[in-house]
Amino acid sequence: MATATGKTTRQLIGQLFHGLRGLARDHVHEIQHERKEEREARARAPVQISIAIGVTLVGGVLIGQALALGLTALGVPGWASCAIIGAIVLVVGIQLIKKLPGTGDMDTIPEHAIKRIGADLKELAAEVVHDVKTAGQPQLAATSRRDVTE
């Protein structure tokens, strides 16, 4: 049986499944790419954190020594100057450690790809419903976001 486009229903269904297969393949590749980017970002994170900690420690030690020497120049004994600065740095460090995010906050879900899959499925369902209402039989629109023809 031929439709308004001159193709049989079997050809249209075959074309639909071919398009769906291509769409699914595109989404799988997109999810794989997004997951790969997230894994690479997580792999770089420990190195970046280590460098930041090292630089911060060196800077903190130098500032602490400068403050302790400044207190000593004001007449405070050397041991007391170091103790005061050490106590301040200890309190600040404890507060910073409390604010660190847990590992449960890491994003491992490809949200962007999942949203695109949902949008594509809604678009496809709307086209099929529209085609069924207007022609009585499903037809593939050539103006869809992805060309599903061969």
Total domains, the chain? 1
pLDDT in tens, 65-102: 898 999 999 998 988 888 888 888 888 888 888 887 76
Handedness of CA 27, 30, 35, 38 (dihedral sign): negative
Residue 33 lies in a domain: yes
Q: What are phi and psi of 133, to 5 degrees?
A: -70, -40
Residue 118 lies in a domain: no
Residue 84 lies in a domain: yes
Question: Are the CB atoms for 146 and 19 separated by under 8 Å?
Answer: yes
Residue 125 lies in a domain: no
Q: What are phi and psi of 2, to 5 degrees?
A: -95, 145
Residue 3 lies in a domain: no
State pTM to two decimals: 0.40
pLDDT in tens, 33-54: 888 888 888 888 888 888 888 8
Residue 87 lies in a domain: yes
Full residue range of the structural domain in which residue 88 is found: 9-99
Residue 146 lies in a domain: no
Rounded Cα gap, residues 61 and 70, in angstroms: 14
The two tokens of residue 30 are 């997109």
Which of 112, 146, 108 shows the shortest CA–CA distance to 127? 146
